[in-house]
Amino acid sequence: MKIIETDRLILRTWRKEDTEAYHKINQDPRVIEFLRGPLSLEQVRDFIPAANLHQEKHGYSLWAAELKKTSELIGFIGLNYIDWQAHFTPAIEIGWRIGSKYWGKGYATEGAKACLDFGFNQMALSEIVSFTVPANKRSIAVMERIGMERDLSGDFAHPKLDADHPLSLHVLYKKITSVKD
């Protein structure tokens, strides 16, 4: 089911036939450089129905992102409810994971802007967060291009990683909707 359409992208719910392409994206060392590691085929098979269930439950998800011209799956872009323990949770996160062959074309920025608009205007959210490790300059650049601001007091150790893990430290970005009269 199509949720959001931009000039070049369709953000939609996941299909079983997305499994192979999404698995391949999650094997690329460049894509997973700042993640805990590659996703197994079983993890991808579990992710797809979980993302669709998240959509049903919350009205948003980490949607499958496909190119309008070719219908190629390029990864995901979307919103995710997080409730693991951190000083800013529970929260709604905006996130993306795009295959490296699609990097540098503005897809993450285009899709993320549309997701912010959806979150604030369709879902009436008041705040959306994003986070990554300090070395992930590409994602930080997307966060800044879509108007998110770094919470300088928001850095945190990711609770799903051991405190001494090299990817534990994360920087926090936020966007708060402006109050309209």
Task: Domain ranges for the chain, please list them.
Answer: 2-176
| Cα three-residue angle 20-25-22, rounded to 5 degrees | 35
CATH number attached to the domain at 2-176 = 3.40.630.30
The span from the CA of 137 to the CA of 169, in Å, is: 14
Give this prediction's pTM.
Answer: 0.95
The span from the CA of 47 to the CA of 161, in Å, is: 19
List per-residue pLDDT tens for the chain, 181 residues long.
999 999 999 999 999 999 999 999 999 999 999 999 999 999 999 999 999 999 999 999 999 999 999 999 999 999 999 999 999 999 999 999 999 999 999 999 999 999 999 999 999 999 999 999 999 999 999 999 999 999 999 999 999 999 999 999 999 999 998 655 3
